[in-house]
Amino acid sequence: MKAYCFSHDLFYPNTTTLSELNMSQSTISQSTTHNGAYVVTHEDGTTVPCHNLTTAKVEAGLLNLSTTKLDNFAEQITVEQYYGCVLGGLGHTPAITWTITGRVERVHNWATAQTLVRDNENLRNSLS
């Protein structure tokens, strides 16, 4: 029996068979209580229900989802972020004002406002 990705099963069949999935220490089986879900059984006997096959593969240790950030691609920013912001705009209420649009954004406190302005300046400096 071939395993298929549910969202793309008509277009992108997964060539991994269920017997290949069970070769690791953890086993993946179809859930008997939830239609379309999977259950991962670890070698110590604990079971973990998973919504889809990809989640089950990650839980079983068959897929490694790395969290490495791609440094080759520049971060896309908005026009407001490009032109920056300044402190204030609502009198004594903590806020920042975006330079290009004049939009005033209320924040929790003045420290948050200063952090937003500083982070925005650092972002703009890193782009140039």
Dist CA 84 CA 105 (whole Å):
13
Of 3-12, 34-43, 46-55, the one with minimum mean pLDDT is: 3-12
For the ranges 1-15, 24-38, 104-118, the maximum mean pLDDT occurs at 104-118
Whether the model clears a pTM of 0.75, i.e. scores above it, the answer is no
Q: How far is CA 114 from CA 34, 67, 83, 87, 104, in A?
A: 49, 29, 16, 7, 14
- Give the chain's count of helices (H) and strands (E): 4, 8
